[in-house]
Amino acid sequence: MSASEITLDESVLDGAGDGPVLEVADLDVSFPSEAGRVHAVRGLTYEVARGEVLGIVGESGSGKSVSSLAVMGLLPEQARISGSIRFQGQQLLGLSDVQLSKIRGRRISMVFQDPLSALTPVYTVGDQIAEALLIHGRGRLSKAAAANRSVELLDLVGIPNAAARVKAFPHEFSGGMRQRAVIAMAIANDPDLIIADEPTTALDVTVQAQVLEVLKTAKEVTGAGIVIITHDLGVVAGFSDRLLVMYAGRAVESGNVNEVYQQPRMPYTLGLLGSLPRLDAAEKLPLVPIHGQPPSLVDLPQGCPFAPRCPLAVDDCLTAEPELSEVDSTSGHRAACIRSAELAATEAEVEDSIDGVEASNAAAIEAAVEVFGAELVEEPKAALRPRAERPVVLEVDSLVKHFAVTKGVVLKRKVGTVHAVDGVSFEVREQETLGLVGESGCGKTTTLMQILGLERPAGGSISVLGRDVSTLDGKARKAIRRDMQVVFQDPLASLDPRMPIGDVIAEPMQVHGFDATHIRKRIPELLDLVGLRAEHADRYPAEFSGGQRQRIGIARALALEPKLLVLDEPVSALDVSIQAGVINLLDKLKAELGLSYLFVAHDLSVVRHIADRVAVMYLGKIVEIGAVDAVFGEPKHPYTQALLSAIPIPDPVKERQRERIILSGDLPSPANPPSGCRFRTRCFLHATLSDSDKRKCVEVEPPRESQGDDHEVACHFARAKQVV
Amino acid sequence: MFGFLVRRLINYIVLCVVATFLSFTLSSVSFDPLSLLRQHNPPPPAATIEAKRAELHLDQPIPQRFLTWGEGVLHGDFGTTTTDHQITDELWRRVGVSLRLFLLGITIGILLGVLIGVGSAIRQYKLFDYISTFFSYVILATPVLVLGPLVKQVAQAINNATGSEWLQFTGEYSGTLDPNAGWLASFDERLRFLIVPTVTIVLGQIAYYSRYQRSAMLDVLGSDFLRTAQAKGLTRRRALFKHGLRTALIPMATLFAFGFGLLVVGGVFTETIFNWQGMGAWLVQGINDQDTNVTATVTLFVAVCVLLSGWLSDVLYALLDPRIRV
């Protein structure tokens, strides 16, 4: 079904008029809590015009989701809401649940963050979409018509074989497909406003690109205004027309998306831009860490809430909270900062000294580095011997890990094999960071677990510091563990909540038999090393913020002075402004302590920043490996190209010009991988090949072949393509 | 799924045989059905006692006795009591009594328990929640031995207040009803005797299920799919029942099934208090009479009830949750 076949409801169009679809004014939302009232949203004002995309950006706790739930009337009853929310001229605040339910889903609809839990598990996807239609079209729409329309909608959002898939239950859909189904539900009644709350946060990058594409289709089909809420400045750069930056429950900057990215007039926005690792940076740029953490919304001190973290803060900042006022009267660019004029001056100053990044907002990034005083952690390059001369600390050769799929309760029988890791080889040398990247299900975590387990692998071999793990006895294995430590993804779950952090850090040393005096001496040293204070040792993990907890995890890993650190998505659970600080810390530790990292991540921008070499995994195999600049600058495997092109860049001008490779479908099941080249079923290059070439992809598994200096690619038809 | 259920059922038959055999063995070893006979005054001649012993097969080894009894069971014959009555006739009558007593109570108990549980989850930490929580715990902490007579007292008070004898609480029927009276009169007669014990059962069931339903519902209340349903345009109430309750019922399936199976046989006290001659009362009587056949028969019935409940809970689960229908 094509977009033009969907007809808009005329009456709704007529009612819309020319005014804004949504006008939010002086919105205040507060919740009771044990510590006192939490003022989640404070005096928020914004408008969305018909067909306009407004991006709302903020970190967790900034009030961005709460404010949109207020628009939907979906806040819990204990929330106290005041101000005004007008939708097409109609006041929504104060309407009853029954009155609001006539607007929700028909004129305003919403797409939520976590597609895995957003659908009711007990009803079919088709029934849930049809429900959205039937509830607003009772009497006018028959059940059969609603069912047909559900198929059309699923087809529209790009679910293949929609007629059959409507009968599937949510658990039979992948995350990306479920998010498509939720979008289908949201556009079912041609709404005038769609609110998308972190619609792609829980998804892999290639799926994120697909879903953003679907949202664009949804916008074209319905002509609705869209509010897209995100913490990712990249996601909104190419999609939104206007941007609103929120901090501590308030709008701190708003304006045309190009202007906000190119001339941010609020230090927080500037810091956010500077804290993002750039995928498009030709050379390593310093990352701006925003020190401290967002304020508690229970009792905010007088003055600008960002002042305690702001490098430009002066005494005046603490007297009163600055209003969101115009910095450019022609464009309507607004910022809540008394020193925004000085920011403009700094940006103008650094204009000449721009180097490293070719972006439309390079000046803003330079200014961020300048203002926040970020420094690049210089590795002692001179002291570093050439790579080939450095010893190998970790060598993985043709590693294989298969899981049996069994059936039956009493008599288990094997019905299949999941090829989680299928012949993976790489090495990590001293003082080197290898980034292992790929989408969920590619086998990167299994590889990691195999390495950490120090057991004899099912196939292939693992050597740590020159010792083959299959030859180790218990004692030798324990000794090796001293030299190889791990930092986990979730900093809260990996710390025992009932242990003071001093004990957390001491534990590995106790296990390895260090004496008490040594341990007592080491704890403050380690805390200091990761940027925490020694007197924090007797506090519990719950008293720390996410970023601090991850620092504790790093301190624990460093307690035994390891040579190799295995990092499993160490920054993916952290807010952007916090993430930069942890990445800088890892950089610093590597340079100071001469560590080697095996860094597993799905965020390629972070990997580009921190890694020296990168290995890209797909369905249990490495498809491309090599020096970061080679792989990112001249990716040769179609999968790497697709992966890189899917990553949004926080630069609106560049984002709009980029050609995006959208991969079709989801990752094939690792229980039944395609023959020959495993990527061929989703490969855009494969589709363009001649029949005989195609046969080669189907029949022959491409070997990993060298494509120049430290760059290996497993593709029969490898060719470089610029995608960033 | 169908194959799975059939396999389960076959496993259960084996379990039933094992449970019944154990109970048969235990009672055969510990019971002395001839003791009553021996205590007769004047003592009966030895030949009479020997004849009784042979009649009850007490001269045979226990496994053989079990096989003899079991073979009869396969043909629908559960043997005789020590006093020479056919167990089979008695069995079906008593199963009927128990089912009449408990089916209604359990059904009402489950319905009200679910509703009250949902209600207190939705109004968490409000008056309704506090009241239902308080009464649930009071009832859960009160043994049926106390609760039954209490309900009786209340019924008596109601009778006194209305000056009638409409509510009855001993037995199933008065036996004084004209056998030619119409169905309406006999329905009324049955109802009068049923209400008080049913209320006793219902109270306990509500207290039990409402607690579980409350926590199952609370798990669902904060879920994203409930918010999606509201975002679609369902009112909160509709979303709560259509999407929330439907999902919150899944973990309750096992409780419902086993609650049913266990109550039918665990109703010893309820049956005794209200003088209903059901299965529970029979077990007590069988033990008093030192009657192996009765004890084994009731055990077999218990085993069948419990295992059928397990099977029923598998079926219920599959019906309620598409995720496990494979």
- Mark whether A636 and A611 lie in a shared domain: no
Which residues in chain A touch residue B250, judged by CB atoms under 8 angstroms apart?
122
- Please name the amino acid found at residue B295: T
Q: Flag whether pLDDT at B326 surpasses 80.
A: no
Question: Which DSSP helix (H) or strand (E) runs through A133?
Answer: helix A125-136
Q: What is the domain range of residue A42?
A: 3-240
Q: How many CB atoms lie within 10 A of CB A77?
A: 7
Are A459 and A504 in a shared domain?
yes
Q: What is the pLDDT of residue B31?
A: 85
Q: Which residues of B15-49 are buried (b: 16+ CB within 10 A; e: fewer)?
A: ebeebbbebbbebbeebebbeeeeeeeeeeeeeee
Residue A243 has pLDDT above 70, yes or no: yes
What was the pLDDT predicted at B305?
86
Substitution target in A72, A78, A101 with the highest count of B β-carbons within 10 Å is A101
Cα A236 to Cα A56: distance, rounded to the nearest angstrom = 8
Q: Which CATH class is domain B92-288?
A: mainly alpha
Q: Determine contact, residues B323/A169, Cβ cutoff 8 Å.
A: yes
CB-based contact A622:A697 (threshold 8 Å): no
Where is the domain boundary, A569, A589, A618? Answer: A618
Chain-chain contact of B227 with A112 (C-beta, under 8 angstroms)? yes
Chain B residue closest to A189 (CA)?
Answer: B232
Of B296, B319, B314, B270, which is closest to residue B102 (Cα–Cα)?
B270
Integer Cα distance of A185 and A188 in angstroms? 5
pLDDT, one tens digit per residue, over A403-432 is: 887 765 555 667 778 888 999 999 999 999
B163: Cβ–Cβ under 8 A, 6 or more apart, which residues? none
Q: Do A465 and A408 belong together in one domain?
A: yes
In a domain, A249, yes or no: no
Closest Cα partner for A446 from A467, A460, A433?
A460
pLDDT tens digits, A263-298: 999 999 999 988 888 888 767 778 888 888 888 888
Determine, for residues B228 and A121 on separate chains, whether the beta-carbon distance falls below 8 Å. no
Q: Could A101 and B234 be called an inter-chain contact, meaning their C-beta atoms sit closer than 8 Å?
A: yes
CB contact under 8 A, A120 and B320: no
B246 contacts chain A (CB < 8 A)? yes
Q: What is the pTM of this model?
A: 0.84
For residue A437, the model assigns a pLDDT of 93
Cα A571 from Cα A287, distance rounded (Å): 14
Cα A191 from chain centroid (whole Å)? 28
pLDDT at B264: 65
Please provide the average confidence, as pLDDT, over all residues in chain B.
87
Question: CB distance from B175 to chain A under 8 Å?
Answer: no
Give the CA diameter of chain B: 87
Q: Which of A97, A113, A189 is the closest to B235 by Cβ?
A: A97
| Ordered DSSP codes for B288-309 | HTT-HHHHHHHHHHHHHHHHHH
pLDDT at A7: 43
Q: How many domains does chain A have?
A: 4
Is A245 a domain residue?
no
Contact state of B225 with A117 under an 8 Å Cβ cutoff: yes
Residues A344 and A438 in one domain: no
C-alpha closest to that of A196 among A81, A329, A37, A55: A55
Q: What is the pLDDT of residues B154-194, one digit of tens each?
A: 999 999 999 888 888 888 877 776 777 777 888 888 888 88
Q: Considering only residues A410 and A548, tell me which one the structure prediction assigns the higher pLDDT.
A: A548
Name the helix (H) or strand (E) containing B207. helix B183-221
With 90 as the cut, is the pLDDT of residue B322 above it? Answer: no
* Ranges of H-type helices in A596-637: 604-610, 628-633
Question: What confidence score (pLDDT) does residue A407 get?
Answer: 67
H or E segment and range at residue A568: strand A564-568
**In this structure, are A222 and A274 located in the same domain?**
no
| pLDDT given for residue A261 in this prediction | 92
Same domain, A12 and A161: yes
Of A618, A639, A655, which residue constitutes the final position of a domain? A618
User: Domain residues of chain B, as ranges?
Assistant: 92-288
pLDDT in tens, A640-699: 999 999 988 888 888 888 888 888 877 888 888 899 999 999 999 998 999 999 999 999
Are A365 and A495 found together in one domain? no
Task: Please check whether residue A95 touches B, CB under 8 A.
Answer: no
Span of A339-343, B105-109, B230-234 with lowest mean pLDDT:
A339-343
At A87, list the tokens.
């939708």
Model confidence band, residue A3 (pLDDT cutoffs 50, 70, 90) = very low
Which H helix or E strand runs over B62? helix B62-74
pLDDT value, residue A6: 42
Sign of CA dihedral A258, A263, A265, A266: positive
Residue A535: the pLDDT is 87
Verify that A583 and A716 share a domain, yes or no.
Answer: no
Q: Are residues A357 and A458 in the same domain?
A: no
- A118, A124, A169: residue with CB nearest B228: A118
| Torsion angles phi and psi, residue A340, rounded to 5 | -65, -30
Choose among A132, A169, A171: nearest Cβ to B233. A132
| Chain A CB within 8 Å of residue B235 CB | yes
- Nearest CA to A704 out of A675, A722, A678, A670 is that of A678
Q: What is the pLDDT of residues A11-24, one digit of tens each?
A: 444 444 568 999 99
The verdict on A135 touching B (C-beta cutoff 8 Å) is yes
Give chain A's mean pLDDT. Answer: 88
The candidate with the shortest Cα–Cα distance to A219, out of A209, A229, A231, A227, is A227
Q: H helices within A617-706, ranges in order?
A: 628-633, 638-646, 652-657, 684-687, 691-699
Contact by Cβ (8 Å): A552, A541 = yes
Q: How many CB pairs under 8 A join A and B?
A: 81
Instruction: Please answer yes or no on whether A104 and B320 come within 8 Å at the CB atom.
Output: no
Helix (H, G, I), strand (E, B) or coil at A107: coil
Q: How confident is the model at residue B102 (pLDDT cuts 50, 70, 90)?
A: confident
User: In CATH, what number is assigned to the domain containing residue A526?
Assistant: 3.40.50.300
Whether A349 contacts chain B with CB within 8 A: no
Residue A77 lies in a domain: yes
In a domain, A476, yes or no: yes
One domain for residues A499 and A598: yes
Q: Is B240 near chain A, with CB under 8 Å?
A: no
A545 and A587 part of one domain: yes
* Structure token digits, residue A393: 């600390």
Picking from A106, A119, A189, the nearest residue to B228 by CB comes out as: A119
Tens digit of each residue's pLDDT (9 = 90 or more) over A565-616: 999 989 888 888 888 889 999 999 998 898 999 999 888 899 999 999 999 9
Q: Is A455 on the interface with B (CB under 8 A)?
A: no
* Contact criterion met (CB below 8 Å) for A451 and A598: yes
- pLDDT, residue A361, reads 80
Percentage of residues in chain A having pLDDT higher than 70: 94
* Cβ–Cβ contact B232 with A under 8 A: yes
Considering the domain architecture, whether residues A425 and A528 belong to the same structural domain is answered as: yes
Q: Establish if A327 belongs to a structural domain.
A: yes
Q: Identify all chain B residues contacting A102, using CB atoms and an 8 Å cutoff.
A: 233
pLDDT band at A5 (very low <50, low <70, confident <90, very high): very low
For residue A573, is it within any domain? yes
Predicted confidence at residue B266, as pLDDT, reads 66
Note the pLDDT of residue A8: 42
pLDDT of the residue at A16: 45
* Chain A interface disruption, residue of B225, B226, B320, most A CBs within 10 A: B225
**Res. A9 pLDDT band, cuts 50 70 90:** very low
